[in-house]
Chains A and B, each alone.
Chain A
Amino acid sequence: MFDKLLLGRYLQGNSIIHELDPRTKLLGSFFFIVIVFLANHWLAYLLLAAFVFFVIKLSNISISYFLRGIRPMLWIIMFTVIFQMLFTVGGTVYFQLGPVTITSLGVINAIYIFMRLVLIIMMSTILTLTTAPLELTDGIEHLLRPLTRLGFPSHEVALMLSIALRYVPTLMDEAQKIMNAQRARGVEFDEGSFIDRVKAMVPILIPLFVSAFNRADEMAIAMEARGYRGGEGRTKYRQLKYSKIDAYALLILLLVTAALIAIRIFIG
């Protein structure tokens, strides 16, 4: 059931992108999402697409993977695109039928929205495919650390995040196991009306919650028994370190941004 879900999966590898510091990747992806909204000219989108393609090539992961990752999102993307097309008015009118008008501006806007969504999804897929979950939480903890001064519990958030990430596959296995056991007792999950299907979820959700509570209990006890007393005064086993490639990555991102701004000012 969960086989098709690509979002948030990690693929081991040893490409340049895999070796980047997780903080660089996190900030880079975030930054990329921001600069995608700077683009308002086809040249700019071409540049961004080329950049994403370049990063995918560097990551040594086949591009069919990313296309498959987009597939579950396709409905949301198409929905947004079609609404953009129908409700943006301006420019030359191509087609008109009652209240529905398709104009040149609408089509352009729809294409832009499509490009933005696809580029953003691709970039975040690169982030999750090339960064191990634990690296990711380490990166997030580091980046959130300045907020500790404002009273933000960055250690606790990072801990919760890493525990949550660690237990995603375990809980998925567990859900699959419970599902099988209930199917063996005659529950059908892909049959009947919508209400039947929702009802069929009850025999999965209750055991899943119960086991999650038990697991949390046991985990808390095991952590205390090993001397966990909260975040203060802890040392770290995994140390994050910036290297030369992080600087290059930053440089390339800045160049892309500069080019985007140039396109916006001089052409767009």
Chain B
Amino acid sequence: MDNPIVFNNVDHIYNAGSPFAVSALKNVNLSIPKGKITAIIGHTGSGKSTLIQHLNVLLRPTHGTVKINDVEITADSKNKNLKALRKQVSVVFQFPESQLFEETVLKDVMFGPLNFGVSEEEAERIAREKLSLVGLPENLYDRSPFDLSGGQMRRVAIAGVLALEPSVLVLDEPTAGLDPAGQKYMLEMFVNLHRQQNLTLVLVTHQMEDVALYADNVIVMENGTVVKTGEPLEIFKDEDKLETLQLSLPHSLQFFKDIDTQLDTTYIKETQPITVDQLADEIVKIKQSRTLKSEVSQNV
């Protein structure tokens, strides 16, 4: 099971067979590697959200098969046997705070585990653990989720999904609408979970910085098809392609490119600093080689 999720020629058509039919996925082939961070990018309407809903069988393919942990799902798969898969692959949807409904924060987080047959005490233990993981102060556990601030509600909702203890976690723009500190905290938390528990992460995002910083593997979508897969470096190399897809470079790479054009140098051909750390390293390297050169010329 190197690839917990494999798509084989998957098509998805909404309202198939009616005049409102819309084809959202066309002949998608992909696999999500186990224990890695996979980023899915593509501009709005490229089929990312439809794709995500296939990952935990909220939608079934119209044609083709989706394999989740060696269970094959086709258009005819019966709903009954699929519930167990939703515990293995969990999704944090966009603006997940809209899923809160219980009287207290704690009860809302316990809701998921209880649905999957976990005992009450165990569910509460899990809930407390996940709530502290997302950084929610303990004095809020007995409050109504609707009394919390937007950022806190987001944390509760995410804790509610983490409480299912999935082996694959899918995040659909988990940080959209959070303040910069909250964004960083959340992403770091997911990445730490991934490192500590070998959790497979799937991250849908528009932030190329996050892709560059965290992803091992990138899937680029356009018009319902997968147009490219590869490591972030590979994806960002093909800049023209990114432009036609209405996607951008990470800021650090863009910065280097601007230096290239303004100073008429070719740094970008030699190196590809896609994160800020790599960028700093490159600048230090360039600086050192310059001082070295000037020392040499002085000595001569």
Contact = CB atoms under 8 A, between A and B. Distances in A.
Interface of A: 3, 11, 62, 65, 174, 177-178, 180-188, 190-191, 202-203, 206-207, 210-211
Interface string B15-46: 10011100000000000000000000000000
A184 B111 contact: no
B154 interface: no
B15 A3 contact: yes
Given A190-B79, A206-B101, A211-B98, A184 B90 contact: yes
Contacts of A174: 98
Contacts of B93: 177, 180-181, 184
Contact of A183 (B58, B96, B116, B161): B58
Interface of B: 14-15, 18-20, 53, 56, 58, 79-80, 83, 86-87, 90-91, 93, 96, 98-101, 111-112, 115-116, 146, 160-161, 164
A181 B14 CA distance: 19
A181 B100 CA distance: 10
Most buried by B among A62, A182, A183, A187: A183
Most buried by B among A65, A202, A207: A207
Contacts of B18: 3
Contacts of B19: 11, 62, 65
A90 to B, nearest CB: 44
B58 A185 contact: no
A174 B19 CA distance: 23
A181 B98 contact: yes
B98 A203 contact: no
Contacts of B58: 180, 183-184
Given A11-B19, A190-B79, A210-B146, A185 B98 contact: no
B86 A186 contact: yes
Given A178-B99, A202-B101, A207-B98, A186 B83 contact: yes
Given A185-B160, A186-B116, A186-B164, 5 more contacts: A177-B98, A183-B86, A186-B86, A203-B99, A207-B101
B99 A207 contact: yes
A75 B14 CA distance: 27
Contact of B99 (A11, A185, A202): A185
A190 B19 CA distance: 26
Contacts of A211: 98
9 contacts: A3-B15, A3-B20, A181-B96, A181-B98, A185-B111, A186-B115, A188-B83, A190-B79, A203-B99
Contact of B161 (A11, A178, A185, A188): A185
Contacts of A178: 98-99
Given A190-B79, A203-B101, A206-B101, A184 B56 contact: yes
Most buried by B among A174, A180, A188, A210: A180
B15 A184 contact: no
3 residue pairs, one from A and one from B, having the closest CB atoms: A186-B115, A181-B99, A206-B101
Contacts of A210: 101, 146
A185 B164 contact: yes
A102 to B, nearest CB: 38
B161 A184 contact: yes
Nearest to A203: B101
B99 A186 contact: no
Nearest to B56: A184
A65 B297 CA distance: 84
A184 B56 CA distance: 7
A187 B115 CA distance: 7
Contacts of A188: 79, 83
Contacts of A191: 79-80
B152 to A, nearest CB: 15
Nearest to B21: A3
A189 B16 CA distance: 22
A189 to B, nearest CB: 10
Given A186-B86, A191-B80, A180 B98 contact: no
Nearest to B93: A181
Contacts of A202: 101
A71 to B, nearest CB: 12
A180 B112 CA distance: 13
A174 B164 CA distance: 23
Contacts of A203: 99, 101, 111
Nearest to B14: A3
A2 B49 CA distance: 18
B165 to A, nearest CB: 12
Given A174-B98, A207-B98, A184 B91 contact: yes
A39 B19 CA distance: 34
A185 B91 CA distance: 9
Contacts of A11: 19
A62 B116 CA distance: 46
A65 to B, nearest CB: 7
A185 B114 CA distance: 9
Contacts of B160: 185
B184 to A, nearest CB: 24
